[in-house]
Structure 1
Amino acid sequence: MKMKLLKVALILSLLLFGAQIPAVEASTLDGETTVNLNVRSTPSTTGAVITTLPKGTKVKYGTYNQSWHKVYLNSRTYYASAPYIKRIASSPTTITTQAASSTGVTTENLNIRVTSHRDAKIVTTLKKGTEVNYAVHNSSWAKVFLSGKTYYAAKAYLAPKLVVSAPKKQSGYTNRDIQLFNRTLQTSPVAKTIPAKRAVTFSIHNSSWSVIYEGTKTYYTPTRGITAGTLKPATTTETGYANRDLKLFDTRNQASKVVKVLPLNTVVASSKYNSSWSTVYIGSDTYYTPTAWITPGVAPVQPPTTTKPVETKVQGYANRNINLFGKTHQSSSVLLVLPQYTAVTYSTYNSSWSNVFVGTKTYFTPTSWLTAGKAPSAPAASPQGKVYINTPGDVLNVRATASASSTILGKLAHGTQVDHYGSSNGFYKIKYNNRDGYISTAYASASKPSVSSGAVIVLDAGHGGTDPGAVRSSLYEKTVVLDVTKRTEAYLRSKYGYEVRLTRSTDVYLTLNQRVQAARNLRGDLFVSLHTNAATTSAANGVETFYSTSSAHSAKSRVLATNIQSNLMGEMSGMRNRGVKTANYYVITYNTMPSALVELGFISSPQDIVHLRSEASRQRMAIGVAEGIAQYVRAYH
């Protein structure tokens, strides 16, 4: 019997000592048992019963989980079923509070220990970059929670997990045709193109670019082409008619190029764009025009007349510098310019235009530019600036009016400084021998020209990048002309020491306007664009050079083109000479300097392609172009 009691006592001692656990980790609460409650050594119904507390016993406890509470008896921690302890109001005792856990990442391979001591037993080692839940234990150690248990690790090797928020997707629509790229670089290949007014899902990538989402794919596009929000409903189209000769523009700016002109009373379909402008629809094309130029409704029917109405002539004057045209639209050629306050005889032509009679000739001008009655005395004009005559080796004609066909009053030498009183129709107004005179703006510069300075030659290799130009098998126009352009540049630099600049020196795409702007930004004195030709028939062949008659520098451009064609054919005598021709190609029409465009041969011709493939022929082509340019430079610079 004594032996049995001794065994029971030993078991109870072991259970009591085994029940000791680390310091309390949850806030201590005051509670009361609601039944006779077993207190156990572990949070399990199989745990040893340490004691049974009668119903109504006051007890200190802390939350362990949803089913069990920790019960604190005699400075030791045990466990009891949570539903049978109710909380009673009491001030919490001073016991260490477990910090809320955080998600972190190990910054090194990290030992996990049973206690917060570097000599404690290692339970496991977590690899660098492992995600783990933890809480701060003290200044050096953290509690690590693994598989429902609490261990310890050095706090210095745990870092909070950075949460990267997903980009905020937005709804919007394209405000223009936009190009989609696989990279944030507009010189990279275009993956696809989306038309204007198309709904898109996007997110902001950086200050300039956005991400476009299409199904499971993503692309990049400049943010300026996207408007956030919902696309406005389709505009209401109205039928009306032109209440004057109707100019149509491709942008909402009357200073921009007139794309098309519709006669008075033409029926048009349009919609209001804003308070001043309307969109005009012709087939699948759209244009812009001032809303005031369209009258809603049906155009009035003009009654037939059997007799010509009596023309009433009015004496009046020009209330501004006025252009006189040969037709009733301002995109037609200006035939004559009359200064402000010039007395004129005119008669009404229609609701917008008048006939102006000068000698035996009749012109057209907008009626709003004329005022009936005697002209007031013109105020004394003040100079608006100074310019210098820029005609190396030549002189500049001073004319009586702003027209290349008017009377020559005299001539001014290269480098002469003059005051000007404004410009119109490509002419500066100046004072010459105490009277008004006019000089061409094309031969005047804001800075004094240097007699010894050489010309800046701009060479333009056509096409490039996504635009291969004419193609035959593996031979691309963009490749041929870039090679000849670089050879021409090298020849001009090495033989003559000329300043030569290229619009492109690599395989990149430039728009026509970008090429013109590049020539201007490079401060060129002349511009030569190189191309190869192509035709639907293999019989077409030969070399030809173009200049534009619509350019302000058409005279010099013709000389430049003639010199290049002559020297080029001297080098390429085996190819057909197609001569010098005129064409209003964009890069030679809108350039601000004498310009020519050279077609080096037909890539579609069996004869020409032999030369276009040959490096020796390309070098001879480059020499011919270069010598033609040099001949022009010697004459004008």
Structure 2
Amino acid sequence: MNIEKTPWHLKLLLSTSLVFTGVAVIPLELSQTGFESTRVEAATTYKTTANLNLRLSAATWSKVLLTIPAGATIKYISKYGSWYKVSYGGKTGYVASQYVKQTTASTMTTSSTKAYTTTVNLNLRKSASTRGTILLTIPTGKRVTYVSTYGSWYKVTYGGQTGYVSSQYLKASSPSTTTSSTKAYTTTVNLNLRKSASTTGTVLLTIPSGRNVTYRGTYGSWYKVSYGGKTGYVAARYLKAGTTTTPTTSTGSGRTVVIDAGHGGNDPGAVYGSVQEKVIALDIAKRLANTLSSTYNYNVKMTRANDGYLSLAQRVSLTKSYKGSAFVSVHANSAPSTAYHGHEVLVPTTESYTTNPYASASRNLGAAINRELGVRIPTIRNRGVKYQNVYVVGKNTVPSTLVEYGFISNANDRAHLTSTTYRQRMADATASGIHQFMRSSN
């Protein structure tokens, strides 16, 4: 996006060895990908061999949560280079692995009767880590069956799959009774119903466009559904939410959200080599529109669905003609220095430039999206919510915000922006933020 940003002063702390309470603490060692070097599923018990600092993150300059006495028993969760993530004294953090020794592995207590309810759209992962493969996303307000605890993660079962979720986004509920899935979806194209959740699966029949199917479960990017007396699998992206037997407040009630893919046509936006902002923006916008429609039942309108050029005034005018309830503009950032990195959300200023009557609501919308991006994509720096004079935000007539998903000019951000996996996560996080805002503004 071609907007001058306020400089951020970046600080880098380097240390080869720091000693606290007589304990040498070693800097974090990362793999070549920048991710943790190993991951272990089950918790293991260790004992400290010296007074040992428990830190908030795996770095020598990180905040000390507490000092664990020598000889104390701690619960091992996972390994990050030369650091262990452990639990002790009701807190979870990181310790230098050279100052602990392994004892007998603990046996996890399990219970299949506990039930929890999700408080946000929550990723069910293959392992107890933010890097773990996402098996599926559990919608807000859904019940999951608790299996066991792994540090700050719960192992749970939902939709026929068992995996790990962050416990902070669950609340205790009464154990659920067995229920049949009655959610309904409508096909948006002629859609193959397959015997297995794969494009190579045998085609049982082809469901015509516009037909209702009954949802049975989620398997990655596939839905298990019933239609015409047969049950099989269809690609979820070709379904939109239809009538359910028990409507809840989790749906968008058909309200219109306008999604604006920045730049387009002869305006490529930010460019780095062969990477163009307009291409990234359109892809994220399409994914966002699909998630808002299929997961939350919003009526979604896009200012552009192809590589066409629109003026800023035309984008605002389309929002009025669409009778939108909210407007979100999708962008990627760039800077002369490759050091600048992170995502940020732009909202209306308090200056006379802003004529949007929903300036306050726009800030709430931006804050909700920023919060979800920060939680769901911690591998990109969160630069926060910023007040800026942006035309499509300040001159709009509905709650509006502009999202910069990262800097094309920065290697780490660019790797995320060019990854289809992360672009989907960006879309899902944004959709969740929009939905949270829309629910609160009913």
Q: Same fold (TM over 0.5)?
A: no
Q: TM-score, normalised by structure 1?
A: 0.29
Tell which structure's C-alpha radius of gyration is larger.
1
Higher relative CO (Cα under 8 Å, sequence separation at least 6) belongs to 2
Higher strand share: 1
Q: TM-score, normalised by structure 2?
A: 0.41
